[in-house]
Structure formats: structure tokens, C-alpha cells
Amino acid sequence: MIKFRLIYFFILIANLIPAMTSLAADEGAHAAEFLSHGVGARALGMGSAFVAIADDATATYWNPAGLTKVKKHSFSAMYSDTFSTGDGSWLSRGLVTYNFINYVYQIEDIGSLGLSWIRLGIDDIPRTTFIDVNNNGFLGDFQDKNGNGIKEDGEPYIDKPEIAEYFSNTDNALLISYARQVHSMAAVGGNLKLLNQSIFQNSGNGFGIDIGLIAEPYKGLRVGAMLLDATGTQIRWDTPDKPTFTRTRRFRFGTAYHFTVPRLGKGAIGADLETDQDDLEVGGGGGLVPRIGAEYWLFNTVALRGGWNGHGLSAGAGLHLRINAMSFFINYAFNTHTLGGSQRISVSGEF
């Protein structure tokens, strides 16, 4: 009965949230979209079908309720080469840097605590200005051959352009997570998200809340659910008109099955559904993005992964190293994208 009450409570919250967010500002679309990119090469190699699996340190992102499954000390860090420039080198620096690091600590009789940092940035963006060559007090003069006052092809600048400075466009998120086992078959968890976004001389700040649930009604079978941005994650900018952009809530549901092959290894298969923000915004009734993925650990040492993340194929591999009572994992993932492939490398450990 307890597990059914928990699921009912979670669904009740999901239905009450609209009333709580009716006064939230809703300017713009895809606010803080960097929070949708996923973390951890293991989960990304499985097509991001991880809401019910979520049994390592990256559960702070995928489903904080899964933090009850990690060991007393656990950490994870990820490097991402996103939208590579195509200069021919493997692991070349991409157009966008996207990285993640976190730490999880289990406190006996209290629960699991996690602290995570996500950063997406485009660095070394040049800001170009002009040198007033003709000393007329105006910058950007050009040879206006046809006298229409509009710079067109074949009309070179008179003033000399130069790079005045370099700046960055950065998105940062700090996740403070908590999870607790409330029943032998169920765990709940949540995130408090503190956000900062900046571009050139302006910045925006905000916060949001995630709520997660994982139930294991039968051994090997897990069901997970997560309400993202439960109260509407708002970001207020410091520009003159001070706009507030709201990242509206999304719901993610998934199931996973873990299996073991005697003397060979173990594996997992997961499938997720997530509400599609694009359809919600255009009044399409709320579509669903399907994701599916699988991994198999051969002799619990080498892993192979593959999946579909709702937009393209993904693949990955992993290596498990043991040093005394400590375990280390090195994972790699490749995701296809219309703007170019993205490579993710992550290192994690537990003890």
C-alpha cells in the first residue's frame, strides 16, 4: 500500500503544479535549454534512457531518487567535445564546451546528499570595433558608392576594423540534491537548482526544483518518474527591461530491467518517455519524446552501449577498474546531431 500511496502523491503534485505556476512569467522559448543536454557518458551512450536506471553519481541530474543506490562516497566528472569544428583531429575542441562534475555522500539514517555543477560555454568570442581612420568622429564608415547609406558588397570599409576584446557566453547550474529510501521498494529525491547565465555585459539568475521517484516492485524491474522544473524555473535578467524567462515543467517517465548472465556479466535495458516542450508551446497538446537504450558489462569489466535519444543514435563504451575497495569507471559516448557529432568522456568512482 505504501508504494501506491507514494505514486499517487507524486501524480497529485504533478497536477497541482499548474496552479502554482499560473503567475510565472513566460517570455521566450527554451529558457535554460542547456539543462536538457544530459550528463555522464554512460547515460548518454544509452540514448539518455536513464530515469529508471539512475544508479550512479549522475542520478543528481537524471533522477535524484536514484542516489540511494550509490555507495557512501561517489563522484563523476564529464568532458564534452560538442559540435566539433571538423579540423580532423579526434577529441578536437568543439564550438561549445559542456562539462559536469559532482560529488555524492550517503549519511546513515538521514539520506543521500549530492552537489553538482554543470557548465556550458562558448569562450573567446571576439568583439569587433573600428579605428576612426578619417577622424570624423564616426565608426564604421564605408565607401557608399551608390549613395543609399547601406553597406553592400563591393563597398569596402574606410575605418579599420579591430578586435577590442574577447568575451564568453556561459550557462551555469548548481544542483543541490537529496534522496531517501522511504520503503524497501521505493525512494524519493529532489533537486534545488541555482542558475546563472551570462553573455557579454549582461547576466540572468534563477532557481528551480526537480522531484524524482524510483520504485522496484520486482527484483530487476525498476520504474522511475521525474517532474522537472516543478514550479517553473524562472531566470531574471539584469537588462534595462529586466525580462523573466520561464522554463516550464516537463515530466519524464521510464522503466528498466536489469539482468545477469552467469559467469559472463550483466546488463540493463531502459525506455523513457518525456513530454516535448516544443509541442506544448505551440499548442500541440504535449507530444512525447521516446528514448531507448541498453548496456552490457562483459565480465563486469568492459561495457558496450547503444540507444536512440529521441533525435538520433548514440553509442558508447566503458571500462571498470578496481583498486582495493575503490571502483573507477571510464566511459565514452558519441551522439549524432544535425550540427555535428558530440563526444563525451566521463570518469567516475565510488568507495
CATH number at residue 101: 2.40.160.40
- Mean pLDDT estimate for the chain: 83
Task: Give the whole-number percent of the chain exceeding pLDDT 90.
Answer: 54
pLDDT (tens digit, 9 = 90+) per residue, 163-206?
Answer: 777 777 899 999 999 999 999 999 999 999 999 999 888 899 99
User: What pLDDT was estimated at residue 21?
Assistant: 38
Mean pLDDT along residues 253-278: 91
- Tell me if 320 is assigned to some domain: yes
Classify each residue of 121-137 as buried b or exposed e, where b means 16 or more C-beta atoms within 10 Å of its C-beta. bbeeeeeeebeeeeeee
- Tell me if 156 is assigned to some domain: no
pTM across the whole model: 0.80
| Domain count along the chain | 1
Residues composing the chain: 351
Place 279 in a pLDDT band, splitting at 50, 70 and 90: very low
Considering only residues 160 and 330, tell me which one the structure prediction assigns the higher pLDDT. 330
pLDDT (tens digit, 9 = 90+) per residue, 283-338?
Answer: 444 589 999 999 999 999 999 999 999 889 999 999 999 998 899 999 999 988 66
Pick the most confident of 146-155, 169-178, 278-287: 169-178
Place 94 in a pLDDT band, splitting at 50, 70 and 90: low
What's the DSSP call for residue 341? -
- Tell me if 203 is assigned to some domain: yes
- Tell me if 157 is assigned to some domain: no
User: What pLDDT was estimated at residue 169?
Assistant: 86
- Tell me if 143 is assigned to some domain: no
Burial class of residue 79 in the structure, from the number of CB atoms within 10 Å of its CB (0-12 exposed, 13-18 middle, 19+ buried)? middle
Q: What is the CA radius of gyration of the chain?
A: 24
- Tell me if 321 is assigned to some domain: yes
Which of 116, 118, 11 has its CA nearest to residue 64? 116
- Tell me if 108 is assigned to some domain: yes
- Tell me if 15 is assigned to some domain: yes
* H and E: helices and strands count for the chain: 4, 16
| Domain limits for position 244 | 2-124+168-350
- In 219-286, the DSSP E strands lie at 221-228, 233-237, 244-247, 250-261, 265-276
Number of neighbours of residue 190 by Cβ within 10 angstroms:
19
Q: How far, in Å, CA of 18 to CA of 230, rounded?
A: 9
Q: How far, in Å, CA of 18 to CA of 16, rounded?
A: 6
